[in-house]
Amino acid sequence: MRWALVAVLAGCSFSAKPGNNMGTPDGSAMRDAHVDSARDAPPDAFDDKCFGGGAFYVCLAATPTGAQSLPSDVDTTACSGTGFHPAMMATTPVCVFAGASVDIGDTVVHGSRPLVIAATGDINETGYLDASSATGRSDGPAANDAACATLNAGATSGNMGGGGAGGSFGTQGAPGAAGNNGAAAGGAAAAIVQAPVSQLRGGCAGGSGAPGAAAAATGGSGGGAVMLVARGTIMIDGTIDVSGAGGVGGHSAKGGGGGGGSGGMIVLHGTVAATTNAILFANGGGAGGGAGQGTDGKPGADATAYNTPAAGAATNGGGSTAGGNGATQTQAPTSPGTSGTGGGGGGGGLGVIRLLGGASLQNAHYSPAPS
């Protein structure tokens, strides 16, 4: 009788409608709330060393054991130490941190691979899980995915540069502003990655601001990639941040500003219990401003709050120009207007939050809306 019941259950998949903390229907969440059963279903035979399902399925060499606490600094390139397991998720190399249970406090994550946090029991996230990219430090895990388009830099005309476009991922970044009164074109934003995104991957960098009489200004990096998967409950009372970084200001004389980086990716697989303190966001970075004749443009701000756009650069005098704001769930990224000197960059687009295996985010705050 037991084996008959297992056989019946193995052929089924279950899903739940994601919650909406805004109190209004969430179209993108509803679109994927039913989660394509063939794509999200695990293999028929249960394996206690494996987690997730479909394209988001990963197996370890042994069943994880013990109560584990995620370290305060995680390098997914090295992926070494107690609880860490280099693994493959389809064709994507990932770094898995696993245990019978996992506690997550204040943690900064960086490195070349996405981070997967897995538990045979519960995951308890109470701190600030920071897998974002930010100015002056290492990028978030797997930021600036190899599949990101690179054709979003500004152009140069008459020793003046156009601004770089914001990075595109879940939504499109804003175009960069033109310099030299429109003759130095701003970068055009790349296309988005079509939903549903079926690979655990980071976001995309903003385009470079074109050089005027000096060097190009680099765009901000895209945010990192994190997945939480548990056979028990994923309890979230803290913050998960995979936002993009701000673009560099244009270099004098008259260089364009760098575009803001896009947000990265968060995947939750399994039963989620989120409190009203829970915040998950993958916002775009602010763009750098364009340079004037003898004045550099200011840098754009990193995304640091789920409900407030990362500010584009303010003007810095001397003919310098502003940069565009990064995206949030409720505000699209912006592009500054045409300039007579160097053009400002465009703000970064949103990343992606995916809910699989029956996950929902009722009570939580988030940006963008889950899919």
44, pLDDT greater than 70: no
239, pLDDT greater than 90: yes
| Nearest alpha-carbon partner for 216 in 188, 192, 187, 189 | 187
349, pLDDT greater than 70: yes
HEC profile of the chain: CHHHHHHHHHCCCCCCCCCCCCCCCCHHHHHHHCCCHHHHCCCCCCCCCEEEECCEEEECCCCCCCEEECCCEEECCCCCCCCEEEEEECCEEEEEEEECEEEECCEEEECCCCEEEEECCCEEECCEEECCCCCCCCCCCCCCCCCCCCCCCCCEECCEECCCCCCCCCCCCCCCCCEHHHCECCCCCCCCCCCCCCCCCCCCCCCCECCCCCCCECCCCCCCEEEEEEEEEEEECCEEECCCCCCCCCCCCCCCCCCCCCCCEEEEEEEEEECCCCEEECCCCCCCCCCCCCCCCCCCCCCCCCCCCCCCCCCCCCCCCCCCCCCCCCCCCCCCCCCCCCCCCCCCCCCEEEEECCCCCCCCEEECCCC
Q: Look at residue 118 in the predicted model and tell me its pLDDT.
A: 98
Give the percent of the chain with pLDDT over 90. 85
Q: Look at residue 149 in the predicted model and tell me its pLDDT.
A: 79
179, pLDDT greater than 60: yes
pLDDT class of 35 with cuts at 50, 70, 90: very low
pLDDT class of 27 with cuts at 50, 70, 90: very low
42, pLDDT greater than 80: no
pTM of the full structure? 0.88
Two tokens, residue 16: 């739940």
For 59, other C-beta atoms within 10 Å of its C-beta total 15
* Section 170-195 average pLDDT: 96
Q: Look at residue 107 in the predicted model and tell me its pLDDT.
A: 98
Contact 163, 343 (CB under 8 A): yes
The sign of the torsion formed by the CA atoms of 84, 88, 89, 91 equals positive
Beta bridge partners of residue 211, listed in sequence order: none
Phi, then psi, of 180 in degrees rounded to 5: 50, 45
Higher pLDDT, 30 or 369: 369
Give the percent of the chain with pLDDT over 70. 87
Tens of pLDDT, residue by residue over 283-302, are 999 999 999 999 999 999 99
Q: Look at residue 26 in the predicted model and tell me its pLDDT.
A: 37
Contact 141, 109 (CB under 8 A): yes
252, pLDDT greater than 50: yes
- What count of residues does the chain have? 371
96, pLDDT greater than 90: yes
Q: Look at residue 285 in the predicted model and tell me its pLDDT.
A: 98
331, pLDDT greater than 70: yes
pLDDT class of 46 with cuts at 50, 70, 90: confident
Q: Look at residue 25 in the predicted model and tell me its pLDDT.
A: 32
